[in-house]
């Protein structure tokens, strides 16, 4: 019985002890959980962790029945002295070897992250700098000993991006003989931070956030042994309106070398595929890429680079490149690369091209483009370009149409723009140009080109050509065209239409050079069967206008040399010689004259135009002379002619002369504005074999003799030859020594001819005192054998009347008293 009660009591006591122990344990756990474990425990754990090569400081330590020992506000340092903080952990779970713990030995087996927050300073030497924040961190860090750490299934969020980490590493030496390379660690963190900072600028699909998977192995004491793998996956990433549907990155890092084995991005238009090798320590690397994405839009969205305002791409794009790069202290890439680019359906400064492509080389901001091609249905350009800012050098061969050059140069404020404005094209125009030159992007006056050109159906300053070719040299100081040939199109030229001339003319050009400083055009050895005005109009329109009055029926053989002033300074000195077997028209004294076989020289001096050594035929006879345009509409000249047909002269100036005959003489004249009333001058005139007038031989008996002989001309003598000198004032020709004769009569006269209204006012005196007529005129003694006639009225119908004889002017007495045969002009 006693034994029974004892056993019962012992069981009760044991139960009470167990309950007390449980309650005590619960109490201890409650106490440890709420008040924290003693500081000695924190110090022991910190020492234990330091044996693994990590140096930490625990803010507080608690025990959780379900989780174990929980450490909060954990700071991680790079050295035992706790001087440089490299990380912060808000909450971690520590797991110890329980068998050793029972013997009082702290052996940390693993650290577990449970929704922890981590803060990593970008600069390990300065904890107050910018930090890298990791949230919702979970995972396990195993610490089997011998500085070995294994991180399994660690994951968290950085800037909303899912990051997963697995690692097997050997931590730092405990004795500090090999310290952590903070500089290298900082570079890695900065690189990661820059990647994440860029990703923060993008918008992602909330249901599929970006993910980064990292795997690391190696000994942190020797970074050459560390190998890491990174995988990045992004779906529907958008920035500034540009969407990339998929991005995939696969990268390896061995020591300081980061190798991106796969970099793929896709959008609506194509695929970007690239490979990159980057040395983190030296901050240099190499790459190769291939892309069919919309490159300008992509660069604008990714790098905030401005879209080229003069370029619009609407077709397929292809870029292939490889090269090296170096990040400077400002993280600005210094790039060297070579590659090839192709764009379809591109518009540049309003000019459309089907294809633009070429190979390129980029080195320190300098660009070399070769095998460049710009193609469109109506032409293409090929060449190479070297860009060494601000200098651009180029070599090109082009068959592009004129309009493309005008569009490309519009608004660039370069002299070449104004030059091209003077050209005009037709649907049949073609150009073939070879160009070699350079220009300065910062100095619009620093440009120079040389080359050659071949054109068809092109007009310059309104002058059309069937074809033209020349060599040229152009810069801000001169425009030099030389060794050229031009075939002018005269189809619509007024002279060709007026006279049915040839429809083209070919000129050989030694040189036409525009001197920008002197502001004149130098002309050397221009020759050919061409009309002068269209050639001169190419470089001096006002001078060409002055040449249009010489209306050659066919292009004359012409040569020209000299200089033409393009300013009002009057320095033009251009010499032109011409000769033609065909006639030319010229307006003289208000009437159009047709001149045969003209030749001579035209010398332009400022506003003055001198026609020297002029030779031609007019009115059936040869003409020689000079004509000078003195400027201001003033004209002066000297002409001489031989045996000009009087009937042709009468027809040209609309008056009548019986009997035809010839005229020989000369004239010196001047007039203004082409107006006859301003004409002044002097000259002489001889008429031969014409019928000036008829004179009755028998006075009043003449009609009777004519009736008896049944012939009206019987008893009549005709004046056929005459001579006079004259002066011209205000369009009125005056003479005081007009003389003519018949076989038995002398005549002397004075008077004038008004060329404005074409009227005559003239007095002719006759000496009838010869042997025969003296007897007949005996009954007329009041007249003493001297007669006087007065002619007035229009040239067409001059009326002559007999009048009382008056005293003749000085010099006429001798003419009247001389024997008729002696005064007759043969």
pLDDT digits (tens, 9 = 90+) for 235-248: 888 777 778 888 89
Range name among 2-16, 473-487, 663-677 with the lowest pLDDT average: 2-16
pLDDT tens per residue, range 29-42: 444 454 456 666 77
Q: State yes or no: pLDDT of 704 exceeds 60.
A: no
pLDDT tens per residue, range 44-90: 777 777 776 667 787 777 766 666 677 777 777 767 777 766 667 77
Cβ neighbors of 410 (< 8 A, separation 6 or more) are 349, 350, 417
Q: Does residue 586 contact residue 556 with C-beta atoms inside 8 Å?
A: no
The pLDDT value recorded for residue 107 is 67
**Band (809; pLDDT cuts 50, 70, 90):** confident
Average pLDDT of the residues in 127-132: 64
The pLDDT value recorded for residue 91 is 75
What's the rounded Cα separation, in Å, for the pair 770 and 33? 171
**How many CA atoms lie within 13 Å of 660's alpha carbon, on the beta-carbon side?**
5
Q: State yes or no: pLDDT of 520 exceeds 90.
A: no
Tokens of 554: 């066919």
The pLDDT value recorded for residue 707 is 47
Average pLDDT of the residues in 491-511: 91
Q: State yes or no: pLDDT of 814 exceeds 90.
A: no
The pLDDT value recorded for residue 599 is 92
| Helix (H), strand (E), coil (C) string for 95-156 | EECHHHHHCCCCCEEEEEEEEEEEEEECCCCCCCCCEEEEEEEEEEEEEEECCEEEEEEEEE
pLDDT tens per residue, range 424-469: 999 999 999 999 999 888 887 888 999 999 999 999 888 999 999 9
The pLDDT value recorded for residue 138 is 84
DSSP-derived 3-state class of residue 796: coil
Tokens of 38: 């003693």
Which one has a higher pLDDT value, 401 or 645? 401
Quick count: other Cβ atoms within 10 Å of Cβ 69?
20
The pLDDT value recorded for residue 483 is 95
Q: State yes or no: pLDDT of 673 exceeds 80.
A: yes
Which DSSP helix (H) or strand (E) runs through 782?
Answer: none
The pLDDT value recorded for residue 799 is 84
Tokens of 197: 């900072």
pLDDT tens per residue, range 243-286: 888 889 999 988 788 899 999 988 888 898 999 999 888 889 99
**Band (126; pLDDT cuts 50, 70, 90):** low
DSSP letter (8 states) at residue 422: T
Please report, rounded to a whole number, the percentage of residues in the chain having pLDDT higher than 90: 26
Cβ neighbors of 30 (< 8 A, separation 6 or more) are none
Q: State yes or no: pLDDT of 634 exceeds 60.
A: yes
The pLDDT value recorded for residue 696 is 54
**Band (598; pLDDT cuts 50, 70, 90):** very high
DSSP-derived 3-state class of residue 508: strand
Which one has a higher pLDDT value, 134 or 300? 134
Which one has a higher pLDDT value, 692 or 753? 753
pLDDT tens per residue, range 738-795: 888 777 677 888 899 898 888 889 888 877 654 344 434 444 443 456 778 888 888 7
Backbone φ and ψ of 645, nearest 5°: -65, 120
pLDDT tens per residue, range 9-22: 555 555 545 544 44
The pLDDT value recorded for residue 817 is 59
How does DSSP assign 619-633, residue by residue?
TTEEEEEEEEEEETT
The pLDDT value recorded for residue 699 is 46
Please report, rounded to a whole number, the percentage of residues in the chain having pLDDT higher than 70: 76
Length of the chain: 826
Quick count: other Cβ atoms within 10 Å of Cβ 709?
11
The pLDDT value recorded for residue 727 is 95
What's the rounded Cα separation, in Å, for the pair 136 and 209? 15
pLDDT tens per residue, range 327-364: 887 777 788 999 999 999 988 888 899 999 999 998 87
Q: Give all strands (DSSP E) within 619-720, no chain letters.
A: 621-631, 634-645, 662-672, 680-688, 693-696, 716-719
Beta bridge partners of 217: 168, 227
User: If you average pLDDT over every residue of the chain, what do you get?
Assistant: 79
Q: State yes or no: pLDDT of 815 exceeds 70.
A: no
The pLDDT value recorded for residue 151 is 82
Average pLDDT of the residues in 694-715: 47
Cβ neighbors of 734 (< 8 A, separation 6 or more) are 726, 727, 728, 750, 751, 752
The pLDDT value recorded for residue 67 is 64
Q: State yes or no: pLDDT of 702 exceeds 50.
A: no
Q: Torsion over CA of 358, 361, 362 and 363, rounded to 10 degrees?
A: -160
What's the rounded Cα separation, in Å, for the pair 387 and 250? 36
Average pLDDT of the residues in 654-660: 67
What's the rounded Cα separation, in Å, for the pair 498 and 352? 43
CA angle 41, 47, 48 (to 5 degrees): 90
pLDDT tens per residue, range 159-180: 778 888 888 877 666 554 445 5
| Helix (H), strand (E), coil (C) string for 388-417 | ECCEEEEEEEECCCHHHHHHHHCCCCCHHH
In order of 335, 338, 392, the CA distances from 363 in angstroms are: 6, 9, 15
Tokens of 355: 């294809």
């Amino acid at each position: 019985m006693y034994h029974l009660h004892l056993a019962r009591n012992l069981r009760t006591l044991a139960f009470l002890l167990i309950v007390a122990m449980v309650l005590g344990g619960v109490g201890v756990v409650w106490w440890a959980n709420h008040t924290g474990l003693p500081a000695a425990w924190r110090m022991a754990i910190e020492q234990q962790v330091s044996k693994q090569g990590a140096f930490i400081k625990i803010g507080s330590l608690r025990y959780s029945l379900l989780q174990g020992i929980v450490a909060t506000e954990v700071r991680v340092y790079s050295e035992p002295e706790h001087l440089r903080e490299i990380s912060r952990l808000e909450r971690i779970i520590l797991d110890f070897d329980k068998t050793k713990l029972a013997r009082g030995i702290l052996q940390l087996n693993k650290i577990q992250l449970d929704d922890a927050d981590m803060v990593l300073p970008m600069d390990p030497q300065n904890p107050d700098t910018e930090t890298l924040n990791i949230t919702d961190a979970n995972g396990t860090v195993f610490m089997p000993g011998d500085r070995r750490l294994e991180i399994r299934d660690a994951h968290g969020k950085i800037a909303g991006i899912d990051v997963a980490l697995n690692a097997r590493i050997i931590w730092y030496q405990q004795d500090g003989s090999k310290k952590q390379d903070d500089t290298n660690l900082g570079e890695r963190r900065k690189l990661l931070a820059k990647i994440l900072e860029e990703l923060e600028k993008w918008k992602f699909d909330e249901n599929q956030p970006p993910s980064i998977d990292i795997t690391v192995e190696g000994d942190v004491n020797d970074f050459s042994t560390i190998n890491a793998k990174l995988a990045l996956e992004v779906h529907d990433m958008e920035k500034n309106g540009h969407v990339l549907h998929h991005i995939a990155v696969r990268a390896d890092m061995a020591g300081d070398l980061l190798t991106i084995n796969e970099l793929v991005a896709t959008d609506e238009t194509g695929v970007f595929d690239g490979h990159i090798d980057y040395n983190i320590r030296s901050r240099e690397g190499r790459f190769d890429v291939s892309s069919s994405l919309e490159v300008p839009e992509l660069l604008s969205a990714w790098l905030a680079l401005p879209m080229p305002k003069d370029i619009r791409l609407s077709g397929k794009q292809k870029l292939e490149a490889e090269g090296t790069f170096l990040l400077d202290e400002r993280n600005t890439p210094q790039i060297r690369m070579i590659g090839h680019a192709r764009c379809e359906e591109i518009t540049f400064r309003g000019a459309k091209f089907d294809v633009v492509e070429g190979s390129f080389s980029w080195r320190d901001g300098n660009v070399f483009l070769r095998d460049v091609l710009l193609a469109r249905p109506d032409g293409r350009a090929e060449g190479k370009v070297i860009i060494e800012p601000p200098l651009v050098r180029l070599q090109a061969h082009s068959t592009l149409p004129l309009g493309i050059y005008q569009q490309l140069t519009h608004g660039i404020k370069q002299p070449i723009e104004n030059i091209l404005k003077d050209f005009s094209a037709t649907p049949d125009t073609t150009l073939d140009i070879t160009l070699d030159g350079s220009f300065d992007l910062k100095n619009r006056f620093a440009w120079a080109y040389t080359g050659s050109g071949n054109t068809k159906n092109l007009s310059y300053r309104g002058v059309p050509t069937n074809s033209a070719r020349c060599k040229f040299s152009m810069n801000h100081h001169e425009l030099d065209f030389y060794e050229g040939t031009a075939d002018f199109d005269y189809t619509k030229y007024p002279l060709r239409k007026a006279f049915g001339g040839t429809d083209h003319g070919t000129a050989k050009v030694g040189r036409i050079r525009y001197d920008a400083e002197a502001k004149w055009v130098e002309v050397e050895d221009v020759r050919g069967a061409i009309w002068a005005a269209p050639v001169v109009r190419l470089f001096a329109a006002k001078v060409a206008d002055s040449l249009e009055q010489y209306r050659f029926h066919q292009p004359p053989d012409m040569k020209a040399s000299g200089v033409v002033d393009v300013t009002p300074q009057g320095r033009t000195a251009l010499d032109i010689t011409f000769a033609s077997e065909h006639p030319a028209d010229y307006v003289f004294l208000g009437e159009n004259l047709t001149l045969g076989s003209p030749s001579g020289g035209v010398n332009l001096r400022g506003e003055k135009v001198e026609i020297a050594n002029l030779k031609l035929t007019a009115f059936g006879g040869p003409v020689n002379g000079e004509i000078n345009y003195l400027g201001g509409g003033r004209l002066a000249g000297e002409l001489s002619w031989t045996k000009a047909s009087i009937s042709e002269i009468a027809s040209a100036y609309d008056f009548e002369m019986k009997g035809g005959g010839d005229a020989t003489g000369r004239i010196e004249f001047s007039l203004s504005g082409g107006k006859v009333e301003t004409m002044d001058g002097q000259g002489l005139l001889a008429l031969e074999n014409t019928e000036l007038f008829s004179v009755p031989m028998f006075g009043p008996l003449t009609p009777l003799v004519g009736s008896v002989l049944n012939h009206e001309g019987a008893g009549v003598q005709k004046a056929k030859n005459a001579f006079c000198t004259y002066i011209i004032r205000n369009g009125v020709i005056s003479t005081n020594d007009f003389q003519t004769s018949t076989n038995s009569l002398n005549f002397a006269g004075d008077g004038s001819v008004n060329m404005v209204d074409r009227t005559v006012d003239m007095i002719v005196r006759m000496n009838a005192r010869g042997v025969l007529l003296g007897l007949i005129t005996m009954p007329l003694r009041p007249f003493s054998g001297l007669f006087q006639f007065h002619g007035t009225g229009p040239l067409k119908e001059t009326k002559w009347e007999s009048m009382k004889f008056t005293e003749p002017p000085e010099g006429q007495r001798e003419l009247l008293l001389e024997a008729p045969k002696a005064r007759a002009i043969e």
